[in-house]
């Protein structure tokens, strides 16, 4: 126990669309403990903060360490935020607005806290430990409840002047298309997110076109998750496979835009949908992007699947906290 007390630990937190995940890492970024809870979408901001504190506390218990052994906490939060002030500006799928998140977490645990967009954290994790190691420009695109994006350029996370950016899920792709959670219409999220895909899948079940998904989840959107979609496809629901492939093709349109703008070394695809159906996503996104990108930029960017999987955001958030606290990096302002 004495040896453990002499060590310092980093915490990475991932507020996903349906989960809260806290991982404790030692100084070598080996996993020491973790805790997970479901996200309650109807929680107010106060109860949401309390749940974050609760999950972080459970992770400490799992690791067998005390608060005074923590060096820092990195919080990966969806949606636009101000990393410098620690304010979550907006979370379209959770209903949080202008939430001062850093202060109560620092007060609860007595160590520096850094907030970072969740996909920025995931991309930084891939840059430090996964598929993006050694790359000059690493872009990550994570379709899930929404569609998040992030970019690490020469070791720095690309941000705006005082807020996170790279909101690829809100690139308009369908003129006057479906209403998005952000209030606009026709965003990439409305056709490529898991919610959009699940809604189309539920309609197919209702029409009697997907008997295997009917048996697995029925028309309940809360049950038509990435794993259920994958299972239905393996069982032979051809219409569900086509719905998923169509969502992946839309994601390929977004990837095309990113390649034309940045010509990154690598684009890492992650998130629940990709983890559940990596072959479909890699095939469709690569095919669409390679066929639509400007000819001089064709085959410049490598498209791959995340190496860190479900731990990318938490590990990246912890690594970002460590890097910021030690003065090795800062946001790169666009």
CATH number for position 266? 3.30.420.40
Q: In the structure encoding, which two tokens stand for residue 230, read together?
A: 């994958």
Sheet of 96-100, strands arranged across: 81-82, 87-91, 96-100
CA gap 205, 303 in Å, rounded: 32
* pTM, 2 dp: 0.88
Number of folded domains that form the chain: 2
**CB 12, CB 44: distance < 8 Å:** no
311, part of any domain: no
Listed range (18-22, 219-223, 289-293, 322-326) with the worst mean pLDDT: 18-22
Do 147 and 270 have their domain in common? yes
Do 94 and 136 have their domain in common? no
Q: What is the mean pLDDT of residues 263-269?
A: 97
As a 3-state breakdown, the chain gives helix, strand, coil percent values, each rounded to 5, of 45, 25, 30
Report the percent of the chain where pLDDT is more than 90.
74
Instruction: Output the CA–CA distances (angstroms, integers) from residue 95 to 85, 89, 108, 253, in the order listed.
Output: 20, 10, 23, 28
Do 138 and 89 have their domain in common? no
Do 92 and 215 have their domain in common? no
Do 95 and 233 have their domain in common? no
Do 74 and 143 have their domain in common? no
Residue 166 sits at φ, ψ, to 5 deg, of 60, 40
Strands 113-117 vs 70-77: parallel, antiparallel or unpaired: parallel
Q: What is the mean pLDDT of residues 171-196?
A: 94
CA gap 213, 201 in Å, rounded: 8
pLDDT value at position 97? 84
Other CB atoms within 10 A of residue 27 CB = 11
Residue 216 sits at φ, ψ, to 5 deg, of -80, -45
Q: What is the mean pLDDT of residues 163-192?
A: 93
124, part of any domain: no
Q: What is the mean pLDDT of residues 163-185?
A: 91
213, part of any domain: yes
Q: What is the pLDDT of residues 54-87, one digit of tens each?
A: 999 999 999 999 999 999 999 999 888 898 888 8
pLDDT-derived band at 3 (thresholds 50, 70, 90) equals: very low
Surface-to-core class of residue 53, CB atoms within 10 Å of its CB (0-12 exposed, 13-18 middle, 19+ buried): middle
Q: What is the mean pLDDT of residues 295-305?
A: 95
CA gap 260, 70 in Å, rounded: 42
320, part of any domain: no
Listed range (112-116, 211-215, 268-272, 308-312) with the worst mean pLDDT: 308-312
Domain boundary (116, 151, 186) is at 116
74, part of any domain: yes
Do 165 and 227 have their domain in common? yes
Do 24 and 159 have their domain in common? no
Do 209 and 287 have their domain in common? yes
Residue linked to tokens 């629901």: 237
Residue-range definition of the domain harbouring residue 193? 131-306
139, part of any domain: yes
Q: In the structure encoding, which two tokens stand for residue 81, read together?
A: 């935020």
Mean per-residue pLDDT of the chain: 91
Query: Does the structure show a pLDDT above 80 at 93?
Result: no
Query: Does the structure show a pLDDT above 70 at 16?
Result: yes
Positive or negative: CA dihedral 251, 255, 257, 258: positive
pLDDT value at position 94? 72
334, part of any domain: no
Do 275 and 237 have their domain in common? yes
Domain boundary (55, 84, 116) is at 116
pLDDT-derived band at 326 (thresholds 50, 70, 90) equals: confident
pLDDT-derived band at 328 (thresholds 50, 70, 90) equals: low
Rg (the chain; Cα; Å): 20
147, part of any domain: yes
Q: What is the mean pLDDT of residues 130-139?
A: 95
Query: Does the structure show a pLDDT above 90 at 218?
Result: yes
pLDDT-derived band at 130 (thresholds 50, 70, 90) equals: very high
CA triple 165-168-174, angle to 5 deg: 135
Do 148 and 252 have their domain in common? yes
pLDDT value at position 40? 63
Do 108 and 145 have their domain in common? no
């Amino acid at each position: 126990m004495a040896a453990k007390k002499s060590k310092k630990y980093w915490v990475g937190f991932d507020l996903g669309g349906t989960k809260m995940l806290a991982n404790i890492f030692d100084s070598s970024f080996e996993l020491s403990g973790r805790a997970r809870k479901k996200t309650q979408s109807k929680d107010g901001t106060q109860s949401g903060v309390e749940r974050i504190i609760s999950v972080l506390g459970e992770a400490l218990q799992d690791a067998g360490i005390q608060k005074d052994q923590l060096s820092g906490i990195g919080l990966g939060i969806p949606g636009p935020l101000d990393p410098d002030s620690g304010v979550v500006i907006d979370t379209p799928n959770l209903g949080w607005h202008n939430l001062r998140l850093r202060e109560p977490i620092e007060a609860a645990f007595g160590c520096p806290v850094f907030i970072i967009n969740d996909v920025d954290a995931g991309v930084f994790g891939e840059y430090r430990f996964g598929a993006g190691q050694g790359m000059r420009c690493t872009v990550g695109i994570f379709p899930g409840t929404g569609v998040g994006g992030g970019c690490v350029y020469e070791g720095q996370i690309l941000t705006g002047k005082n807020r996170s950016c790279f909101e690829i899920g809100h690139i308009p792709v369908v003129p006057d298309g479906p209403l998005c959670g952000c209030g606009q219409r026709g965003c990439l999220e409305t056709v490529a997110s898991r919610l959009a895909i699940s809604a189309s899948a539920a309609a197919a079940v209702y029409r009697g076109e997907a008997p295997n998904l009917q048996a697995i989840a029925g028309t309940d959107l809360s049950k038509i998750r990435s794993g259920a979609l994958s299972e239905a496809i393996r069982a032979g629901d051809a219409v569900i496979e086509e719905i998923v492939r169509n969502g992946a093709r839309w994601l390929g349109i977004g990837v095309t835009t990113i390649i034309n703008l940045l010509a990154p070394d690598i684009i890492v695809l992650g998130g629940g949908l990709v983890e559940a159906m990596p072959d479909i996503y890699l095939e469709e996104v690569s095919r669409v992007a390679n066929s639509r990108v400007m000819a001089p930029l064709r085959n410049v960017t490598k498209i791959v699947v995340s190496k860190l999987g479900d731990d990318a955001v938490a590990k990246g958030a912890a690594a970002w906290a460590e890097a910021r606290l030690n003065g090795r990096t800062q946001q790169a302002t666009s």
